[in-house]
Every structure is written in structure tokens, then in C-alpha cells.
Amino acid sequence: MLKSSIKLLSLSLLFIYTSANAQLAQRLDRAFNVLNADSQAKYATTALVVLDAETGKQIYGRNEHVGLATASTLKVITSATAFSLLGKDFRYQTTLAYSGNIAPDGVLHGDLLIVGGGDPTLGSWRYAETKEHQILNQWVKAIREAGIKSIAGKVVGDDSLWGSSSLPEGWIWQDIGNYYGASPSALSWRENQFDLHLRPGNGTGRPVALLRAVPEMSYINIINELKTGPAGSGDNAYAFLPPLANIAYLRGTWGAGISKKGISAALPDPAFDAAYRLQDTLKRLGISSTEEPTTARRLIAEKKNQPTITAKLATLSSPALSEIIYWFNKKSINLYGEHLIRTLAWQANKDATTRNGVKEELNFWAAKGIDKNALNIVDGSGLSPGTRVTPAAMANILFQVQKETWYPDFLKSLPINNGMQLKSGSISDVQAYAGYYTAANGKKYVIVININNYSGSKISGKLFRVLDVLK
């Protein structure tokens, strides 16, 4: 009798659960159809998948098996893969060393070497221990403690660890000179960016004034072609500065009355900038060098010998991976994603290329039941419009990671959007969100919503109206 009662109760609960989900699916369908009928979505591909976060069962799906450009929602996959393959406590290391020898009078007959270990946070302002002045102070202290008073040589930014390839495949020309399109390097520095302060002209179409670069960039020739845009037109300014170049073009418009100070551009050669800043700091402190700073990549290109390490002076560790991923997702830092994807290859003893990192990522998720064909990934950040991932695959990954010990750190990294823990993503004509939501009744959901090729601007509110059905 008791068994029969329990079975009856279980069937009743299953009926209630199934009925509730069916009703929710109907409401989601109505809201999705409203979005699809909107003029902004007329020529778009729109997709939505909602899973029960407890069971992984799909509550609702439309176009969930269509490969779509992800924009920055790809970062949830990159993050989950990095947590899984590297571990939440993984840290990068950067070494300060020297070649040659130190004479009794304190002259280093050789070079100072900053040996990059793939750290994307070196010189970053986001962490107390990585700020530029903190790093430079530690290096200066180590140099002085070694008894070096002058350098009969130069400072070399050793960026050789990851080879000569830097720009991820699939990135577009309009992006790569700007801070969000900064290329990764084995020796990255100050998140591979610098600021340009601007002032609009006194009328539409008038030249925009370039007030200053911060920090000062004496080795880059900046050609300012910016024009003043109408009041309210905002920031439509772009820097065109490819990797390893020393000529930058500023093009586009800078709106009258804009409150922003300016834009941030990508460092064309972060390893050089790191060497340049250290050598300049030493010069101001009375420790001179006889040669100009350079990098390992430049020495290789010039067919010059690379200096070999005689002794190490200091080794600096990055913040833990969990801290890196926190900022990676909170502020959607593309550079971090490109470092992480290359690190997957490097740690697997493969050439540290984006393509090899993606292969490691795909193999990992294939072993967990995700169809590789649902993950057409070409970079680590989602900046490439060539990346295509199905919403169903992304949702499946988000479901699976809830079982991992590092999941609380992953969840903490996701921003709040529309009162939900959702990573956002946007590139030209693409808007997407992916993450989790716990409703007032305690019901938990995995959510991926994505629209490609929409018309007009600012469609997020319409996507949120669909997701509000879950509230």
C-alpha cells in the first residue's frame, strides 16, 4: 500500500512538473514569436534555449541547433575549458634575468631580459600586485640588489615563448588597432593598450584635437584624421594600428559634447613597450643603457643572436586563474580569452597558437558528449564574427559545469544582466546572453538567447522581455 502511495505521489509530482514546464514553454513561445515578428528581427536569425538547471532537460528551444556568431558569450566556454584543463589556481610567471656578466664596478656587460610566460595581467591596473608601477619597482629593486649600476647593452622583451604568431585568425581590420582588439603576446604588458585623450572641435565636421597619449608614446607616429560628429553621436572613433607597426591612424567621428576623455588603442608591440618602460625607468634613476630596447621577435627578424640567460633576478607570478576569469567575464576582456586559448595549447606541449588551443578545447568537450560540429570556434574571446556555436551546445556546457568544484568561481564571474547572471556578447549586428537564472520560487534555469543580423540598434531590451517570462 505504501509503495503504491509513493508511486502515485511520484506520478502526481511528475505531472505537475511536466504541466508547469509545458505552460512555461507556451509563454516563452508567445514572447519569442513577438520578438521574431519585430521589425528589427525581420532579416535576423534568432535563437533561444532554456534548460532546467537541475536536470538538464530542455524546457524550450527555437533554432537551438543553428550555429550562430556568439560574440562575447563564447567567453563562458573559454572560461569553463580553462578552469577544467588548467585549474583554478593556475598562475603564469614572468622572469627578469640578465645575460653576460656584472663587472666589479657594477656595469652589466650584457642585456637585461624580461622573459614572458604568457601572463595577460602583467602591468594591469585591475589587481593590486600587477599595477605597472608595482612591477617596475620590483624589477628596479632586483636590479639594484644585483649590484647593477649601468648596462653596456639593452633591455630585451623576450616574447619568444609563443612564437611569432600573434593576431588571432578571423579578426577584422576595424578592431585590431583598438583596445578590445589587442593581440596576445607571450610578454603582454598593461593589457596591451594605451589611452588617447581627445577634444571635439567647435562644430560638426571640424577636426578633433588629440590632446595626449597616456602613457606618452614617443615611438608611435599618430596621424589624427578624426572629425567632430553631431551632438549625441558619441564615440565612433577607431584606431588603425596593426601589430608591430609604428604608425597609427585615427579615423571616424568624436561627438560634440561627449563626456568621455578619449579612446584606448592597442599596443602594437607589448613586449617592446615593457622593455621600453623598464629601460626608461632605469635611465631616470641613473642606470643607463648603451643600446636601445628591443624584443626577441625583432632580434629574430633582424637575424641577430638572442641573448642567453646567465642568471635570474626575479620571478613574478600572476593572480590565480580564478581571479583572471573573474575580470575576463565581468569586463569582457578579449585579450584574456586569447591568452587562455593559447595557454591550453602551450600546457598541452603544442605550439601555442589559437588554432591548437581550439583543438584542445574541442577535444575536451567532445569527450563530454558535445558534438564538435556544434562548436565552430576560431578564437578565444568571440571577437571574430567567424566563430559559430549552437545555443544548444553552449547551454549543455553551462549545465555540465554546475557539477564542478570551481563552479562557484565561474558563477561569480558572470555579470548581472536583466537581474540574471548572464554573460553578454555584442559585435556588429549580434547580441547574445548566456548564463543562469534562479526564479523567486527557487526554480533554476540555464539560458542562451542570441540574435544575428538584426536591424537598427539597442535590441537588448527586446531580448530581456522574452527572458522576463522566467521571472
- The per-residue pLDDT for range 181-229, each reduced to its tens digit, is 999 999 999 999 999 999 999 999 999 999 999 999 999 999 999 999 9
pLDDT tens-digit map of 305-328: 999 999 999 999 999 999 999 999
> Which domains, ranges and CATH numbers included, belong to the chain?
29-88+322-470 (3.40.710.10), 93-164+283-319 (3.50.80.20), 173-266 (no CATH)
DSSP string spanning 232-274? T--EEEEEE--TT-SEEEEEEEEETT--S-EEEEE-S-HHHHH
> If you average pLDDT over residues 447-471, what whole number do you get?
97
> pLDDT band at 8, cuts 50/70/90?
very low
Tell me what pLDDT residue 417 has.
98
Average pLDDT, the chain: 95
pLDDT of residue 1: 55
CB 190 within 8 A of CB 124: yes
What is the pLDDT, as a whole number, of residue 362? Answer: 98
Determine the Cα–Cα distance for residues 418 and 421; give it in Å rounded to an integer.
Answer: 8
Say whether pLDDT at 162 is over 60.
yes
17: pLDDT confidence band, cut at 50, 70 and 90?
low
305 neighbors 299 (Cβ within 8 angstroms): yes
Does the pLDDT at position 12 exceed 50? no
**Rg of the chain (C-alpha set):** 26
Four-point Cα dihedral 371, 374, 376, 379, nearest 10: -80
Tens of pLDDT, residue by residue over 228-260, are 999 999 999 999 999 999 999 999 999 999 999
User: What are the tens digits of pLDDT across the range 21-36?
Assistant: 999 999 999 999 999 9
Question: Is 446 in contact with 466 (CB distance < 8 Å)?
Answer: no
Confidence of residue 460 (pLDDT cuts 50, 70, 90): very high
The reported pLDDT for the residue numbered 464 is: 98
Among 302, 245, 248, 295, CA closest to 274: 295
Name residue 239's beta-bridge partners. Answer: 250
Confidence band, pLDDT 50/70/90 cuts, at residue 429: very high
Q: Give 32-59 as a DSSP string.
A: HHHHHHSGGGTT-EEEEEEEETTT--EE
CB atoms within 10 A of CB 341: 29
What average pLDDT score do residues 424-444 get?
97
Examine the pLDDT at 10 and tell me if it is beyond 70. no
Which 3 state secondary structure label does DSSP give 467? helix
Distance, in Å, from the CA atom of 100 to the CA atom of 103, rounded to the nearest integer, reads: 10
Structure confidence at residue 345 as a pLDDT band (50, 70, 90): very high
The whole-angstrom separation of Cα 192 and Cα 125 is: 12
Contacts of 361 (CB under 8 A, 6+ apart): 77, 78, 81, 341, 344, 375, 377
369/364 Cα distance (integer angstroms): 9
pLDDT digits (tens, 9 = 90+) for 354-401: 999 999 999 999 999 999 999 999 999 999 999 999 999 999 999 999
